[in-house]
Amino acid sequence: MRVFHLALALIFLGMVAIAGARVIGSTQPRPAIAAIFTNPDGFPCEMPCMFGIRPAVTGIAEMLRIVGAHPMFTSLTRKESTAASGSEYQLSDQYQNIVIVLDTRNVVQSIHWQNRDCTSRWRSTVGDVVNILGQPVAVQSFGLAPTTYIYLNFQIAIESNRGGTLGGCRSQNNADRLDPHYVVIGIFLEGLAYFQSLHDWKSVARISSG
C-alpha cells in the first residue's frame, strides 16, 4: 500500500512539474517581432504574410482595414504617395518604419519593415526569427553589409545587423559568423520575382535559436 501511495505521489508531482513548466513557458514574453506575423486578432496569419497582409492577394480596402485594426500600427504616422507603377503607404515612428507597396490594380505587392531603434523593445534577434519561422533555406552576405536570411517558402527575407549598421546595437561578434544573437534590422515580404533576382546565395547550416 505504501508503494502504491508513493507511486501516486510521484505521478502527481510529475504532473504538477509539467503544468508548471507549461505555465512558465506561456508567460515568457514573446519577442516584439512575433507580432509582425499575426493577424490583428493576434493569431498567426497565413503565410506568406505580414500583419495579416498577403502579397498578390490583399487589396487596398482590406489592407486599410488591417492597418486600422492591427496593434502594430496604432501609434504610427501614415503617409501615402502614388506613381505610375502604383501606390505606397509608409507608416512610421521613432522605432520602426513600414512600407506597403501596391500595384496599379491596388493589390499589395510587397511589405518592408525596418527597425529604427536599439532599445529592448525592438531588440529581436535572428534566434527569435528561427523560433518563429524555422530554419532559413539560404543566406546572402557581403563584407560588412547586413546578412540576409532567405525564407523562400514564405517569400520573406530577414536582415540582421552584423558589424556595420545601427551602431547602438552593433554586434561585436565576428562579422563572418552566423550568430543567433545578431539583431534583426529588416523584414521584407516580396513577390517570387524578387527572390529569383538575387544572386550569390549560400546554403546555410542550422542556426541556433538562442
Residue 86: its H or E element: strand 86-92
Pairing mode of beta strands 156-160, 147-151: antiparallel
Pick from 91-100, 140-149, 175-184 the range whose average pLDDT is largest. Answer: 91-100
On whether the CB atoms of residues 149 and 129 are closer than 8 A, the answer is yes
Residue 27: which pLDDT band, with cuts at 50, 70 and 90? very low
Per-residue pLDDT reduced to its tens digit, 51-89: 999 999 999 999 999 999 999 998 899 999 998 999 999
Residue 210: which pLDDT band, with cuts at 50, 70 and 90? low
Per-residue pLDDT reduced to its tens digit, 5-23: 433 333 333 333 323 323 3
Buried/exposed code over 125-155 (b: 16+ C-beta within 10 A; e: otherwise) = bbbbbbbbbeebebbbbeeeebbbbbbbebb
Grid cell 533576382 — which residue?
197
Give 142's Cβ-side CA count (13 Å radius): 5
Grid cell 515568457 — which residue?
28
